[in-house]
């Protein structure tokens, strides 16, 4: 019971600061769950993100379910997910009730312009840190460059390849050409 409560509160905290989409959450998850709580490894997190990209729903929520489940089984998964949802639900309820022009308030606009700057630095630092764990040779580097290009500049191409398709292709590619299987 105490551990479930801890799961709930931890993911409530993460849900409260999940700005800028799921991937922006990675630096925060790393700090909270890998460095401080030691519930998962960085590799686990990357795996969850990859799977979350190919399954329905918000990636950040997928990651919460995964980690909750890893800690305390099915119930843990549900508890972590509900924790993650708590603050966003409350915020929108408050906005819907009282603040119809919330997004137009100058203080909100200015604060979030500042937060966005911080989010890109956090993501950039996460990429630097995670680089050595995922880009291990020339094959993974090539895979990285191709997927990065398609994901970042896909909208300039005649057909935009959905992110889920990119990730699934990378997985299939790994099965055929990957060097996995060795122990860490």
Partner 1 sequence: MIYLRLFINFFKTGLFTVGGGLATLPFLYEMSDATHWFSHGDIADMIAISESTPGAIGINMATYAGFKTGGIPGGFVATVGLAAPSIIIILIISRFLARFRTNPYVEKAFYGLRAASIAMITAAGLNVARIALVDIPAFQETGSVTDLVLWKAVLLAIAVFLFMKKFKTHPIVVLAASACVGILFRFGGV
Tell whether residue 40 is a contact of partner 1 (CB under 8 A).
no
Tell whether residue 5 is a contact of partner 1 (CB under 8 A).
no
Q: Which two tokens stand for residue 45?
A: 């997190």
Closest CA to 50 of 139, 142, 166, 154: 166
Tell whether residue 167 is a contact of partner 1 (CB under 8 A).
yes
Tell whether residue 28 is a contact of partner 1 (CB under 8 A).
yes
CB of 71 to partner 1, least distance (A): 11
CB of 97 to partner 1, least distance (A): 8
Contact 127, 42 (CB under 8 A): no
Q: Which of 5, 41, 148, 160 binds partner 1 (CB under 8 A)?
A: 148
CB of 34 to partner 1, least distance (A): 13
Tell whether residue 103 is a contact of partner 1 (CB under 8 A).
yes
What is the rounded CA–CA span in Å between residue 169 and residue 87?
Answer: 35
Q: Which of 22, 33, 40, 71 binds partner 1 (CB under 8 A)?
A: 22
What is the rounded CA–CA span in Å between residue 73 and residue 181?
Answer: 26
Q: Which two tokens stand for residue 64?
A: 């919460």
Tell whether residue 170 is a contact of partner 1 (CB under 8 A).
yes
What is the rounded CA–CA span in Å between residue 173 and residue 159?
Answer: 21
Tell whether residue 39 is a contact of partner 1 (CB under 8 A).
no
Contact 12, 86 (CB under 8 A): yes
């Amino acid at each position: 019971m105490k551990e479930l409560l801890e799961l709930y509160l931890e993911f409530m905290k993460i849900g409260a600061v999940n700005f800028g989409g799921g991937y922006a959450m990675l630096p925060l998850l790393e700090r909270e769950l890998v460095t401080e709580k030691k519930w998962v490894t960085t590799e686990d997190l990357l795996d969850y993100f990859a799977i979350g990209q190919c399954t329905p729903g918000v990636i950040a929520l997928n990651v919460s379910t995964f980690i909750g489940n890893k800690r305390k089984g099915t119930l843990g998964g549900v508890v972590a997910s509900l924790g993650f949802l708590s603050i966003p639900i409350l915020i929108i309820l408050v906005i819907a009730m009282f603040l119809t022009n919330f997004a137009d308030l100058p203080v909100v606009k200015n604060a979030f312009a500042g937060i966005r700057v911080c989010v890109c630095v956090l993501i950039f630092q996460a990429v630097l840190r995670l680089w050595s764990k995922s880009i291990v040779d020339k094959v993974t580097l090539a895979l990285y460059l191709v997927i990065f290009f398609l994901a970042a500049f896909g909208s300039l191409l005649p057909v935009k390849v959905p992110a889920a398709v990119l990730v699934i292709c990378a997985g299939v590619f790994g099965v055929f050409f990957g060097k996995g299987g060795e122990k860490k």
